[in-house]
Amino acid sequence: MSAKGLSRFPEPKNKKEEKMDTKSLTRREFLHGAALTGVGLVAAACGPSPTPVAAPTEAPTAAPTPTPAPPAKDKIVVGMSRPLSGPLAVIGDSAFRPVYETWVDAVNADGGVYVEEYGKKLPIELVVYDDKSDVGTMTRLTEKLILEDKVDFLWPACGTAFVFAQAPIANKYEYVLLTAEGGATSIKDMLPSLPYVFVSLSFSDWYQLPVLADLLADQGAKTAYIIYIADLHGIEYSGVAGIEFPKKGIDILGVKSIPPDIKDLSPVIKEAKASGADVFCCFAYPDQIMPATGTSMELGFNPKAWVGGPGVNFGFYHAAFGPAAEGIIGFTTFSRKSSPALDELADKLYEGKPEEVQDWWGHPLYWAALDVWKAAIEKAGTLDQKEIRDLIATEKFDTVLGPTWFENGLLAKECHTGEIGQWIDGVYEVIGPQDKATAEMTYPKPEWPTP
Protein backbone atom coordinates (compact mmCIF):
# COMPACT_ATOMS: atom_id res chain seq x y z
CA MET A 1 0.00 0.00 0.00
CA SER A 2 1.97 2.98 -1.21
CA ALA A 3 1.31 6.45 -2.50
CA LYS A 4 4.02 6.09 -5.10
CA GLY A 5 3.16 5.37 -8.71
CA LEU A 6 -0.55 6.12 -8.45
CA SER A 7 -2.19 6.69 -11.81
CA ARG A 8 -4.09 9.88 -12.14
CA PHE A 9 -6.74 10.52 -14.73
CA PRO A 10 -6.74 14.12 -16.04
CA GLU A 11 -9.99 15.54 -17.25
CA PRO A 12 -10.10 15.66 -21.10
CA LYS A 13 -10.51 19.13 -22.58
CA ASN A 14 -13.96 19.63 -24.10
CA LYS A 15 -13.95 20.94 -27.65
CA LYS A 16 -15.51 24.34 -27.87
CA GLU A 17 -18.52 24.52 -30.07
CA GLU A 18 -17.64 26.24 -33.31
CA LYS A 19 -19.72 29.32 -34.11
CA MET A 20 -20.33 31.00 -37.45
CA ASP A 21 -18.93 34.53 -37.79
CA THR A 22 -21.54 37.15 -38.58
CA LYS A 23 -20.73 40.63 -39.81
CA SER A 24 -22.92 43.58 -38.91
CA LEU A 25 -23.50 46.24 -41.66
CA THR A 26 -22.87 49.87 -40.83
CA ARG A 27 -25.44 52.48 -41.83
CA ARG A 28 -23.07 53.80 -44.56
CA GLU A 29 -22.49 50.33 -45.98
CA PHE A 30 -26.20 49.66 -45.99
CA LEU A 31 -26.98 52.88 -47.91
CA HIS A 32 -24.15 52.18 -50.38
CA GLY A 33 -25.48 48.69 -51.00
CA ALA A 34 -28.98 49.98 -51.43
CA ALA A 35 -27.78 52.55 -53.97
CA LEU A 36 -26.03 49.90 -56.00
CA THR A 37 -29.17 47.81 -55.88
CA GLY A 38 -31.20 50.74 -57.18
CA VAL A 39 -28.81 51.23 -60.11
CA GLY A 40 -29.08 47.55 -60.89
CA LEU A 41 -32.84 47.69 -60.90
CA VAL A 42 -32.85 50.60 -63.37
CA ALA A 43 -30.42 48.79 -65.63
CA ALA A 44 -32.50 45.67 -65.46
CA ALA A 45 -35.62 47.56 -66.45
CA CYS A 46 -33.90 48.83 -69.61
CA GLY A 47 -32.18 45.60 -70.56
CA PRO A 48 -33.16 42.11 -71.61
CA SER A 49 -35.21 39.74 -69.47
CA PRO A 50 -33.23 38.53 -66.47
CA THR A 51 -32.00 35.00 -66.14
CA PRO A 52 -33.83 33.20 -63.27
CA VAL A 53 -31.64 32.85 -60.16
CA ALA A 54 -31.92 29.81 -57.87
CA ALA A 55 -33.18 30.52 -54.32
CA PRO A 56 -30.41 30.38 -51.68
CA THR A 57 -30.27 27.22 -49.60
CA GLU A 58 -30.34 27.37 -45.77
CA ALA A 59 -27.21 26.38 -43.89
CA PRO A 60 -27.64 23.03 -42.10
CA THR A 61 -28.43 23.24 -38.36
CA ALA A 62 -25.46 22.18 -36.24
CA ALA A 63 -26.01 19.01 -34.20
CA PRO A 64 -25.97 19.54 -30.38
CA THR A 65 -22.64 18.83 -28.75
CA PRO A 66 -22.93 15.50 -26.85
CA THR A 67 -22.30 15.44 -23.09
CA PRO A 68 -18.73 14.22 -22.59
CA ALA A 69 -18.33 10.80 -20.97
CA PRO A 70 -16.71 10.72 -17.52
CA PRO A 71 -12.94 10.24 -17.66
CA ALA A 72 -11.74 6.67 -17.66
CA LYS A 73 -11.34 5.18 -14.18
CA ASP A 74 -10.25 1.74 -13.10
CA LYS A 75 -10.07 1.99 -9.29
CA ILE A 76 -11.17 3.89 -6.19
CA VAL A 77 -8.18 5.30 -4.33
CA VAL A 78 -8.65 5.57 -0.55
CA GLY A 79 -6.11 7.41 1.59
CA MET A 80 -5.31 7.02 5.28
CA SER A 81 -2.90 8.44 7.84
CA ARG A 82 -2.46 5.68 10.44
CA PRO A 83 -0.21 4.91 13.46
CA LEU A 84 1.93 2.22 11.87
CA SER A 85 4.50 3.02 14.55
CA GLY A 86 4.55 4.79 17.91
CA PRO A 87 2.43 4.23 21.03
CA LEU A 88 -0.90 4.04 19.19
CA ALA A 89 0.29 1.35 16.78
CA VAL A 90 -0.88 -1.40 19.14
CA ILE A 91 -4.42 0.00 18.94
CA GLY A 92 -4.35 0.71 15.22
CA ASP A 93 -3.05 -2.76 14.42
CA SER A 94 -5.76 -4.43 16.54
CA ALA A 95 -8.71 -2.11 15.92
CA PHE A 96 -9.48 -0.67 12.47
CA ARG A 97 -6.60 -2.22 10.52
CA PRO A 98 -7.73 -5.87 10.58
CA VAL A 99 -11.23 -4.71 9.67
CA TYR A 100 -10.31 -2.58 6.66
CA GLU A 101 -7.80 -5.12 5.37
CA THR A 102 -10.30 -8.00 5.59
CA TRP A 103 -13.17 -5.90 4.25
CA VAL A 104 -11.23 -4.52 1.27
CA ASP A 105 -9.96 -7.99 0.35
CA ALA A 106 -13.54 -9.31 0.39
CA VAL A 107 -14.91 -6.42 -1.69
CA ASN A 108 -12.11 -6.59 -4.23
CA ALA A 109 -12.47 -10.36 -4.55
CA ASP A 110 -16.03 -9.61 -5.69
CA GLY A 111 -14.82 -7.10 -8.26
CA GLY A 112 -15.02 -3.94 -6.18
CA VAL A 113 -17.65 -1.25 -5.63
CA TYR A 114 -20.21 -0.82 -8.42
CA VAL A 115 -20.39 2.79 -9.64
CA GLU A 116 -23.18 3.42 -12.15
CA GLU A 117 -21.46 6.53 -13.50
CA TYR A 118 -18.70 4.29 -14.87
CA GLY A 119 -20.93 1.31 -15.57
CA LYS A 120 -18.72 -1.16 -13.74
CA LYS A 121 -17.23 -2.28 -10.43
CA LEU A 122 -14.10 -0.47 -9.32
CA PRO A 123 -11.60 -2.18 -7.00
CA ILE A 124 -10.28 -0.27 -3.98
CA GLU A 125 -6.64 0.75 -3.74
CA LEU A 126 -5.33 1.83 -0.32
CA VAL A 127 -2.70 4.52 0.20
CA VAL A 128 -1.57 4.40 3.84
CA TYR A 129 0.97 6.72 5.45
CA ASP A 130 2.57 6.30 8.89
CA ASP A 131 1.76 9.27 11.15
CA LYS A 132 3.99 7.78 13.89
CA SER A 133 1.19 8.35 16.46
CA ASP A 134 1.74 12.10 16.17
CA VAL A 135 -1.23 14.44 15.67
CA GLY A 136 0.75 17.09 13.81
CA THR A 137 2.15 14.53 11.39
CA MET A 138 -1.34 13.12 10.86
CA THR A 139 -2.83 16.50 9.93
CA ARG A 140 -0.03 17.16 7.41
CA LEU A 141 -0.45 13.73 5.86
CA THR A 142 -4.22 14.16 5.68
CA GLU A 143 -3.82 17.34 3.64
CA LYS A 144 -1.18 15.65 1.47
CA LEU A 145 -3.61 12.84 0.66
CA ILE A 146 -6.29 15.34 -0.33
CA LEU A 147 -4.28 18.05 -2.07
CA GLU A 148 -1.27 16.24 -3.56
CA ASP A 149 -2.32 12.61 -3.95
CA LYS A 150 -5.90 13.65 -4.74
CA VAL A 151 -7.31 10.42 -3.34
CA ASP A 152 -10.95 9.69 -4.09
CA PHE A 153 -11.83 9.12 -0.44
CA LEU A 154 -10.41 9.56 3.04
CA TRP A 155 -10.61 6.92 5.77
CA PRO A 156 -9.94 7.78 9.41
CA ALA A 157 -6.94 8.30 11.65
CA CYS A 158 -6.70 6.53 15.04
CA GLY A 159 -7.48 8.01 18.46
CA THR A 160 -9.75 10.61 20.04
CA ALA A 161 -7.33 13.53 19.68
CA PHE A 162 -6.71 12.49 16.08
CA VAL A 163 -10.44 12.43 15.27
CA PHE A 164 -10.75 15.90 16.79
CA ALA A 165 -7.92 17.20 14.58
CA GLN A 166 -8.80 15.39 11.35
CA ALA A 167 -12.54 16.05 11.25
CA PRO A 168 -12.32 19.78 10.43
CA ILE A 169 -9.79 19.09 7.65
CA ALA A 170 -12.04 16.52 5.97
CA ASN A 171 -15.00 18.83 6.29
CA LYS A 172 -13.05 21.82 4.91
CA TYR A 173 -12.30 19.96 1.69
CA GLU A 174 -15.74 18.30 1.64
CA TYR A 175 -14.44 14.75 1.99
CA VAL A 176 -16.77 12.25 3.66
CA LEU A 177 -15.12 10.94 6.85
CA LEU A 178 -16.53 7.94 8.70
CA THR A 179 -14.43 7.73 11.85
CA ALA A 180 -13.14 4.58 13.55
CA GLU A 181 -11.11 4.55 16.79
CA GLY A 182 -11.83 7.63 18.86
CA GLY A 183 -14.57 9.20 20.92
CA ALA A 184 -16.27 12.45 20.17
CA THR A 185 -17.63 14.09 23.30
CA SER A 186 -15.37 17.02 22.52
CA ILE A 187 -16.75 17.44 18.99
CA LYS A 188 -20.30 16.15 19.44
CA ASP A 189 -21.73 19.66 19.66
CA MET A 190 -19.64 20.68 16.63
CA LEU A 191 -20.98 17.94 14.35
CA PRO A 192 -23.83 20.08 12.94
CA SER A 193 -21.09 22.34 11.56
CA LEU A 194 -19.13 19.32 10.25
CA PRO A 195 -21.68 17.80 7.85
CA TYR A 196 -19.14 15.53 6.14
CA VAL A 197 -18.10 13.81 9.41
CA PHE A 198 -19.82 10.70 10.81
CA VAL A 199 -18.73 9.10 14.11
CA SER A 200 -19.15 5.31 14.17
CA LEU A 201 -17.66 4.41 17.56
CA SER A 202 -19.52 4.43 20.86
CA PHE A 203 -17.79 6.59 23.47
CA SER A 204 -17.96 8.09 26.95
CA ASP A 205 -21.37 9.76 27.04
CA TRP A 206 -22.59 8.00 23.89
CA TYR A 207 -23.44 5.82 25.74
CA GLN A 208 -20.88 3.96 27.76
CA LEU A 209 -20.41 5.72 31.10
CA PRO A 210 -24.14 6.23 31.80
CA VAL A 211 -24.52 2.46 31.37
CA LEU A 212 -21.44 1.75 33.52
CA ALA A 213 -22.78 4.00 36.29
CA ASP A 214 -26.12 2.17 36.22
CA LEU A 215 -24.42 -1.24 36.44
CA LEU A 216 -22.15 -0.25 39.32
CA ALA A 217 -24.96 1.42 41.27
CA ASP A 218 -27.18 -1.65 40.83
CA GLN A 219 -24.39 -3.75 42.39
CA GLY A 220 -24.14 -1.40 45.38
CA ALA A 221 -20.93 0.48 44.50
CA LYS A 222 -20.62 3.68 46.53
CA THR A 223 -17.14 5.08 45.82
CA ALA A 224 -14.66 5.34 42.95
CA TYR A 225 -11.06 6.39 42.29
CA ILE A 226 -10.12 7.55 38.78
CA ILE A 227 -6.80 7.88 36.99
CA TYR A 228 -6.64 9.12 33.41
CA ILE A 229 -4.10 9.81 30.70
CA ALA A 230 -3.43 13.51 30.17
CA ASP A 231 -4.82 13.73 26.65
CA LEU A 232 -8.21 14.33 25.04
CA HIS A 233 -9.36 10.74 25.61
CA GLY A 234 -8.52 10.70 29.30
CA ILE A 235 -9.91 14.17 29.92
CA GLU A 236 -13.13 13.24 28.12
CA TYR A 237 -13.76 10.00 30.03
CA SER A 238 -12.79 11.28 33.47
CA GLY A 239 -14.97 14.34 32.95
CA VAL A 240 -18.03 12.33 31.96
CA ALA A 241 -17.48 9.89 34.85
CA GLY A 242 -17.38 12.91 37.14
CA ILE A 243 -20.90 13.72 35.98
CA GLU A 244 -22.47 10.27 35.64
CA PHE A 245 -21.13 8.55 38.80
CA PRO A 246 -22.48 11.12 41.29
CA LYS A 247 -25.88 10.96 39.57
CA LYS A 248 -26.06 7.33 40.72
CA GLY A 249 -24.78 7.97 44.24
CA ILE A 250 -21.16 6.99 43.57
CA ASP A 251 -18.75 9.39 45.27
CA ILE A 252 -15.41 10.02 43.58
CA LEU A 253 -12.67 9.85 46.22
CA GLY A 254 -9.79 10.82 43.99
CA VAL A 255 -8.88 11.83 40.42
CA LYS A 256 -5.30 11.63 39.18
CA SER A 257 -3.84 12.61 35.81
CA ILE A 258 -0.92 10.56 34.48
CA PRO A 259 1.43 11.44 31.59
CA PRO A 260 1.41 9.26 28.46
CA ASP A 261 5.03 8.20 29.01
CA ILE A 262 4.69 7.28 32.69
CA LYS A 263 7.12 4.53 33.72
CA ASP A 264 6.17 3.77 37.31
CA LEU A 265 2.49 3.54 38.26
CA SER A 266 3.07 2.25 41.78
CA PRO A 267 2.62 5.64 43.53
CA VAL A 268 -0.78 6.28 41.97
CA ILE A 269 -1.92 2.67 42.47
CA LYS A 270 -0.93 2.92 46.14
CA GLU A 271 -3.03 6.09 46.45
CA ALA A 272 -6.01 4.35 44.86
CA LYS A 273 -5.60 1.39 47.20
CA ALA A 274 -5.35 3.64 50.25
CA SER A 275 -8.61 5.37 49.28
CA GLY A 276 -10.55 2.13 49.83
CA ALA A 277 -12.72 2.89 46.78
CA ASP A 278 -15.12 0.21 45.53
CA VAL A 279 -14.35 1.03 41.90
CA PHE A 280 -11.04 1.79 40.21
CA CYS A 281 -11.12 3.37 36.73
CA CYS A 282 -8.10 3.74 34.46
CA PHE A 283 -9.14 5.81 31.43
CA ALA A 284 -6.04 5.45 29.27
CA TYR A 285 -4.48 3.47 26.42
CA PRO A 286 -2.81 0.03 26.44
CA ASP A 287 0.59 1.54 27.24
CA GLN A 288 -0.88 2.61 30.60
CA ILE A 289 -3.61 -0.05 31.04
CA MET A 290 -1.20 -2.97 30.87
CA PRO A 291 1.26 -1.73 33.53
CA ALA A 292 -1.63 -0.48 35.69
CA THR A 293 -3.00 -4.03 35.73
CA GLY A 294 0.37 -5.57 36.49
CA THR A 295 1.09 -3.04 39.26
CA SER A 296 -2.34 -3.64 40.83
CA MET A 297 -1.53 -7.34 40.99
CA GLU A 298 1.92 -6.74 42.49
CA LEU A 299 0.57 -4.40 45.18
CA GLY A 300 -2.45 -6.56 45.99
CA PHE A 301 -4.88 -3.84 44.93
CA ASN A 302 -8.11 -5.70 44.18
CA PRO A 303 -11.10 -3.34 44.17
CA LYS A 304 -14.62 -4.67 43.72
CA ALA A 305 -14.57 -3.35 40.14
CA TRP A 306 -11.46 -2.70 38.02
CA VAL A 307 -12.36 -0.73 34.86
CA GLY A 308 -9.98 0.19 32.05
CA GLY A 309 -9.93 1.16 28.43
CA PRO A 310 -9.27 1.09 25.68
CA GLY A 311 -7.11 -1.95 26.17
CA VAL A 312 -9.16 -4.38 28.24
CA ASN A 313 -11.38 -5.04 25.19
CA PHE A 314 -8.53 -6.42 23.07
CA GLY A 315 -7.56 -10.05 22.78
CA PHE A 316 -3.94 -9.15 23.52
CA TYR A 317 -5.01 -8.08 27.03
CA HIS A 318 -6.41 -11.52 27.80
CA ALA A 319 -3.47 -13.20 26.07
CA ALA A 320 -1.08 -11.27 28.34
CA PHE A 321 -2.88 -11.76 31.67
CA GLY A 322 -4.79 -15.01 31.18
CA PRO A 323 -6.79 -15.95 34.33
CA ALA A 324 -5.80 -12.63 35.94
CA ALA A 325 -8.10 -10.86 33.45
CA GLU A 326 -11.12 -12.53 35.08
CA GLY A 327 -13.65 -9.94 36.21
CA ILE A 328 -11.87 -6.96 34.59
CA ILE A 329 -14.34 -4.51 33.02
CA GLY A 330 -13.93 -2.46 29.85
CA PHE A 331 -15.87 -1.15 26.88
CA THR A 332 -17.52 -3.29 24.22
CA THR A 333 -20.02 -3.61 21.43
CA PHE A 334 -20.55 -7.33 21.08
CA SER A 335 -19.78 -10.91 21.91
CA ARG A 336 -20.33 -13.98 19.76
CA LYS A 337 -23.66 -14.42 21.52
CA SER A 338 -24.97 -11.02 20.47
CA SER A 339 -26.36 -12.21 17.12
CA PRO A 340 -25.71 -14.80 14.40
CA ALA A 341 -24.43 -12.02 12.11
CA LEU A 342 -21.90 -10.88 14.70
CA ASP A 343 -20.82 -14.45 15.38
CA GLU A 344 -20.20 -14.83 11.63
CA LEU A 345 -18.22 -11.57 11.61
CA ALA A 346 -16.05 -12.88 14.45
CA ASP A 347 -15.32 -15.94 12.32
CA LYS A 348 -14.28 -13.75 9.38
CA LEU A 349 -11.97 -11.64 11.49
CA TYR A 350 -10.60 -14.11 14.04
CA GLU A 351 -10.80 -17.66 12.67
CA GLY A 352 -7.34 -19.20 12.50
CA LYS A 353 -5.67 -16.06 13.86
CA PRO A 354 -4.01 -15.39 17.23
CA GLU A 355 -6.15 -14.02 20.06
CA GLU A 356 -4.19 -10.78 19.96
CA VAL A 357 -6.09 -9.56 16.85
CA GLN A 358 -9.48 -9.55 18.58
CA ASP A 359 -11.29 -6.31 19.44
CA TRP A 360 -14.62 -6.74 21.20
CA TRP A 361 -15.42 -3.05 21.14
CA GLY A 362 -14.93 -1.46 17.74
CA HIS A 363 -14.79 -4.18 15.09
CA PRO A 364 -18.48 -4.51 14.21
CA LEU A 365 -18.92 -0.72 14.25
CA TYR A 366 -16.02 -0.20 11.84
CA TRP A 367 -17.25 -3.01 9.58
CA ALA A 368 -20.75 -1.51 9.54
CA ALA A 369 -19.35 1.93 8.70
CA LEU A 370 -17.53 0.51 5.67
CA ASP A 371 -20.71 -1.26 4.57
CA VAL A 372 -22.57 2.06 4.83
CA TRP A 373 -19.85 3.78 2.75
CA LYS A 374 -20.07 1.16 0.00
CA ALA A 375 -23.87 1.10 -0.05
CA ALA A 376 -24.04 4.90 -0.26
CA ILE A 377 -21.68 4.96 -3.25
CA GLU A 378 -23.65 2.28 -5.04
CA LYS A 379 -26.96 3.99 -4.36
CA ALA A 380 -25.63 7.39 -5.47
CA GLY A 381 -24.12 5.83 -8.58
CA THR A 382 -21.26 8.30 -8.43
CA LEU A 383 -18.13 9.16 -6.49
CA ASP A 384 -19.43 12.66 -5.79
CA GLN A 385 -18.75 13.40 -2.12
CA LYS A 386 -21.83 15.55 -1.54
CA GLU A 387 -24.28 13.03 -2.97
CA ILE A 388 -22.72 10.26 -0.89
CA ARG A 389 -22.69 12.46 2.21
CA ASP A 390 -26.40 13.29 1.80
CA LEU A 391 -27.32 9.60 1.60
CA ILE A 392 -25.30 8.67 4.70
CA ALA A 393 -26.93 11.51 6.63
CA THR A 394 -30.51 10.56 5.73
CA GLU A 395 -30.76 6.87 4.82
CA LYS A 396 -30.90 3.60 6.75
CA PHE A 397 -28.65 0.78 5.63
CA ASP A 398 -28.56 -2.95 6.30
CA THR A 399 -25.25 -3.93 7.93
CA VAL A 400 -23.85 -6.51 10.30
CA LEU A 401 -25.53 -4.50 13.09
CA GLY A 402 -28.96 -4.75 11.45
CA PRO A 403 -30.66 -1.50 10.37
CA THR A 404 -27.95 1.14 10.66
CA TRP A 405 -28.19 4.91 10.50
CA PHE A 406 -26.63 8.14 11.75
CA GLU A 407 -28.31 10.89 13.77
CA ASN A 408 -26.66 14.31 13.71
CA GLY A 409 -23.38 12.73 12.70
CA LEU A 410 -23.40 10.01 15.38
CA LEU A 411 -24.18 6.33 14.91
CA ALA A 412 -27.64 6.02 16.45
CA LYS A 413 -27.70 4.53 19.97
CA GLU A 414 -30.26 2.00 18.78
CA CYS A 415 -27.57 0.52 16.51
CA HIS A 416 -25.22 -0.24 19.44
CA THR A 417 -25.26 -3.92 20.39
CA GLY A 418 -23.48 -3.37 23.71
CA GLU A 419 -21.62 -0.78 25.77
CA ILE A 420 -19.83 -2.42 28.74
CA GLY A 421 -17.96 -5.73 28.73
CA GLN A 422 -16.26 -8.00 31.25
CA TRP A 423 -13.91 -10.97 31.07
CA ILE A 424 -15.98 -13.91 32.40
CA ASP A 425 -14.69 -17.48 32.20
CA GLY A 426 -12.14 -16.43 29.61
CA VAL A 427 -14.73 -14.78 27.32
CA TYR A 428 -15.32 -11.06 26.89
CA GLU A 429 -19.06 -10.76 27.48
CA VAL A 430 -21.51 -7.89 27.12
CA ILE A 431 -22.82 -7.00 30.60
CA GLY A 432 -24.60 -3.76 29.78
CA PRO A 433 -27.01 -2.39 29.00
CA GLN A 434 -28.98 -5.18 30.56
CA ASP A 435 -31.34 -5.65 27.60
CA LYS A 436 -28.32 -6.47 25.40
CA ALA A 437 -26.25 -8.39 27.94
CA THR A 438 -24.86 -11.79 27.02
CA ALA A 439 -23.87 -12.59 30.64
CA GLU A 440 -24.50 -11.30 34.15
CA MET A 441 -21.97 -8.94 35.67
CA THR A 442 -19.49 -10.40 38.15
CA TYR A 443 -19.28 -8.18 41.24
CA PRO A 444 -17.09 -8.06 43.19
CA LYS A 445 -14.32 -9.21 40.89
CA PRO A 446 -12.42 -12.34 41.94
CA GLU A 447 -9.10 -12.14 43.77
CA TRP A 448 -5.98 -11.99 41.62
CA PRO A 449 -4.55 -15.46 40.96
CA THR A 450 -1.76 -16.55 43.28
CA PRO A 451 1.63 -15.94 41.58
- Tell me the sheet residues that pair with 397: 404
Does residue 265 lie within any of the structural domains? yes
What is the per-residue pLDDT across 204-224, written as a single tens digit (0 to 9) for each? 999 999 999 999 999 999 999
Q: Are residues 187 and 227 in the same domain?
A: no
Q: Are residues 313 and 297 in the same domain?
A: yes
Q: Are residues 306 and 429 in the same domain?
A: yes
Q: Are residues 187 and 230 in the same domain?
A: no
Does residue 347 lie within any of the structural domains? no
Does residue 355 lie within any of the structural domains? no
Does residue 451 lie within any of the structural domains? no
What pLDDT score does 26 carry?
36
Structural domain for 163, as ranges: 76-203+361-415
What pLDDT score does 178 carry?
98
Which residues are CB-contacts of 224 (< 8 A; sequence separation ≥ 6)? 216, 241, 245, 250, 251, 252, 253, 277, 278, 279, 280, 281
What pLDDT score does 65 carry?
66
The predicted model gives 237-245 an average pLDDT of 97
- Alpha carbon 24 to its chain's center: 62
What pLDDT score does 17 carry?
34
Q: Are residues 365 and 254 in the same domain?
A: no
Q: Are residues 93 and 198 in the same domain?
A: yes
Q: Is-contact 158 91, C-beta < 8 A?
A: yes
The predicted model gives 26-50 an average pLDDT of 35
Q: 310 preceded by cis ω (within 30°)?
A: yes
Q: Is-contact 160 232, C-beta < 8 A?
A: yes
Q: Is-contact 197 170, C-beta < 8 A?
A: yes
Q: Are residues 312 and 427 in the same domain?
A: yes
Assign residue 241 the CATH number of its domain: 3.40.50.2300
**pLDDT at position 189 over 90:** no
Which residues are CB-contacts of 125 (< 8 A; sequence separation ≥ 6)? 6, 75, 76, 77, 78
Q: Are residues 376 and 392 in the same domain?
A: yes
- Tell me the sheet residues that pair with 314: 359
Integer Cα distance of 115 and 378 in angstroms: 6
pTM above 0.75, yes or no: yes
What is the per-residue pLDDT across 374-397, written as a single tens digit (0 to 9) for each? 999 999 999 999 999 999 999 999
**pLDDT at position 40 over 80:** no
What pLDDT score does 184 carry?
75
The predicted model gives 148-175 an average pLDDT of 97
**pLDDT at position 108 over 80:** yes
How many residues are listed for the chain in this entry?
451
**pLDDT at position 98 over 60:** yes
**Gap between the terminal Cα atoms of the chain:** 45
Q: Are residues 124 and 190 in the same domain?
A: yes
Range name among 25-39, 64-78, 83-97, 284-298 with the lowest pLDDT average: 25-39
Q: What is the DSSP letter of 381?
A: T
Q: Are residues 177 and 159 in the same domain?
A: yes
Q: Are residues 252 and 306 in the same domain?
A: yes
Does residue 38 lie within any of the structural domains? no
Does residue 84 lie within any of the structural domains? yes
Does residue 97 lie within any of the structural domains? yes
Q: Are residues 394 and 279 in the same domain?
A: no
What is the per-residue pLDDT across 409-437, written as a single tens digit (0 to 9) for each? 999 999 999 999 999 999 999 999 999 99
Q: How many domains does the chain have?
A: 2
Does residue 173 lie within any of the structural domains? yes
